[in-house]
């Protein structure tokens, strides 16, 4: 699929996931405007043609990328905007420019988290505070790790949007020999599943550090999936302002949960491993130099849980470890009794 189907594409964010998605789009012949955080990164991309900090093995053809520190320039130039900044910073980035610049854009979200200042999914935040149409929004979910995209190892992406035609067009823009894509109508379910699986992956990392084995982890993940199903299906009318139920037999649900809990590429699992070893949250964040979305998601989902009156007991235990200093060993003794 050629770039003109989506118009000019802009990418907001140059972390590992943003860099991986930039690789896919440029490999597929799409030129991109690319908002990055500092001028040094712009200079590096222009002069040496790769990201200096993330996925440094990925090289870009200079004529395919236009890096800039000006968000206004990207929004003025582009019809379609791919948002890849961590959820913790997304609201600040969005609000740093005139809200009118976001209107009328096709928004593709690669954020797998809750915006912490509003406790909203990006789609709901843009609709409520910017006036964007939900029909102009498409969410990307996995299972897919940036490191495997860099190596062109076969990966799968799911694109969810209320506008079926747009979701399909966006999915085709990313489809190639190493990325298989599919699209669906399940915008809220896919996004909440992506948020929850990051919280559960932190728990999987903690379990590993506490010397729980594969047998326990398999039961833990089964119960996490059951909790996700309870939140998204049993309380469908509360969580989904649409008439399409989630298809839990797709890779966007169980597949993404499994890979995030098991893979050594998973930053949330790595973050949990460090917490289980006794690192403080701040020390783990400094050591990783990357954002673990599940940390902020744990707090955000507590607010969502209370708003909808839906219990998420496993996610709540992870929240208490991260935000209330509950001892991980004590917490998992409680968790042992909850699992079945």
- Per-residue pLDDT tens digits of the chain, which is 340 residues long: 444 468 899 999 988 999 999 999 999 999 999 999 889 999 999 999 988 888 889 999 999 999 999 999 999 999 999 999 999 899 999 999 999 999 999 999 999 889 988 999 999 999 998 999 999 999 999 888 889 999 999 999 999 999 999 999 999 999 999 999 999 888 888 999 999 999 999 999 999 999 999 999 999 999 999 999 998 887 766 766 666 667 777 788 899 999 999 988 899 999 999 999 999 999 998 888 777 899 999 999 999 999 989 999 999 999 999 999 999 999 999 999 999 7
The domain boundary, picked from 163, 185, 207, lies at 185
Residues 104 and 205 in one domain: no
Cα distance between residue 186 and residue 138, in whole Å: 10
Which residues lie closer than 8 Å to 229 by C-beta, 6 or more apart? 248
pTM: 0.92
What integer pLDDT is reported at residue 241 of this predicted model?
A: 65
- Do residues 134 and 57 both lie within one domain? yes
Give yes or no: residues 112 and 124 share one domain: yes
Residues 133 and 219 in one domain: no
For residues 166 and 233, membership in a common domain is answered with no
- The CATH number of the domain holding residue 140 is 3.40.50.720
Asked if 42 and 178 sit in the same domain, the reply is yes
Q: Tell me, what's the pLDDT at 4?
A: 40
Residue whose tokens read 């582009």: 78
Structure confidence at residue 242 (pLDDT) = 64
Residue 40 CB contacts under 8 Å (≥ 6 apart), including other chains: 52
- 177 and 200 together in one domain: no
331 and 220 in a common domain: yes
Helix 164-174 and helix 16-27, axial crossing angle in degrees, nearest 10: 90
| Residue that finishes a domain, picked among 121, 151, 185 | 185
Tally of structural domains, the chain: 2
| CA separation for the pair 88, 293 (Å, rounded) | 8
Residue 66 — φ and ψ, nearest 5°?
A: -125, 85
Domain shared by 23 and 165, yes or no: yes
Question: 3-state SS string over the chain?
Answer: CCHHHCCCEEEECCCHHHHHHHHHHHHCCCCEEEECCCHHHHHHHHHCCCCCCCCCCCCCCHHHEEEECCHHHHHHHCCEEEECCCHHHHHHHHCCCCHHHHCCCEEEECCCCCECCCCECHHHHHHHHHCCCHHHEEEEECCCCHHHHHCCCCEEEEEEECCHHHHHHHHHHHCCCCEEEEEECCHHHHHHHHHHHHHHHHHHHHHHHCCCCHHHHHHHHHHHHHHHHHHHHHCHHHHCCCCCCCCCCCHHHHHHHHHHHHCCCCHHHHHHHHHHCCCCHHHHHHHHCCCCHHHHHHHHHHHHHHHHCCCCHHHHHHHHHHHCCCCHHHHHHHHHHHCC
CATH of the domain at 274: 1.10.1040.10
Q: 306 and 312 in contact (C-beta within 8 Å)?
A: no
235: β partners:
none
Based on the domain organization, do 42 and 147 belong to the same domain?
Answer: yes
Choose the final residue of a domain: 185, 201, 218: 185
Residues 178 and 232 in one domain: no
Range of the domain at 52: 3-185
Residues 192 and 168 in one domain: no
């Amino acid at each position: 699929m050629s770039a003109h189907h989506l118009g000019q594409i802009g990418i907001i964010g140059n972390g590992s996931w943003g860099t991986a998605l930039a690789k896919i789009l440029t490999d597929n012949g799409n030129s991109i405007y690319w908002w990055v955080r500092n001028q040094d990164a712009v200079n590096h991309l222009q002069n040496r043609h790769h990201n200096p900090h993330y996925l440094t093995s990925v090289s870009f053809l200079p004529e395919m990328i236009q890096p800039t520190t000006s968000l206004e320039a990207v929004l003025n130039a582009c019809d379609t905007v791919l948002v890849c900044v961590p959820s913790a910073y997304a609201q600040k980035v969005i609000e740093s420019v005139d809200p009118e610049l976001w209107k009328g854009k096709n928004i593709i979200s690669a954020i797998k988290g809750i915006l912490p200042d509003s406790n909203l999914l990006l789609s709901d935040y843009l609709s409520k505070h910017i006036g964007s149409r939900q029909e102009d929004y498409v969410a990307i979910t996995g299972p897919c790790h940036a490191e495997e995209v860099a190596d062109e190892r076969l990966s799968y992406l799911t694109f969810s949007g209320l506008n079926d035609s747009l979701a399909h067009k966006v999915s085709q823009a990313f489809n190639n020999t190493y990325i298989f894509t599919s699209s669906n109508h399940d915008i809220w379910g896919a996004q909440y599943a992506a948020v929850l699986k990051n919280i559960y992956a932190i728990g999987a990392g903690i379990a590993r550090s506490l010397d729980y084995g594969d047998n326990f982890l398999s039961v833990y993940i089964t119960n996490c999936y059951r909790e996700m199903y309870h939140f998204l299906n049993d309380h469908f009318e509360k969580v989904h302002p649409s008439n399409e139920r989630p298809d839990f037999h797709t890779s966007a649900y169980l597949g993404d949960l499994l890979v995030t809990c098991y893979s050594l590429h998973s930053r949330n699992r790595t973050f949990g491993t460090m917490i289980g070893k006794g690192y403080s949250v701040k020390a783990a964040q400094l050591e990783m130099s990357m954002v673990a979305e599940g940390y902020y998601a744990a707090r955000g989902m507590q607010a969502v849980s209370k708003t909808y009156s839906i219990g998420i007991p496993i996610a709540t235990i992870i929240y208490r470890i991260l935000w209330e200093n509950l001892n991980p060993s004590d917490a998992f003794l409680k968790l042992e009794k909850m699992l079945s």
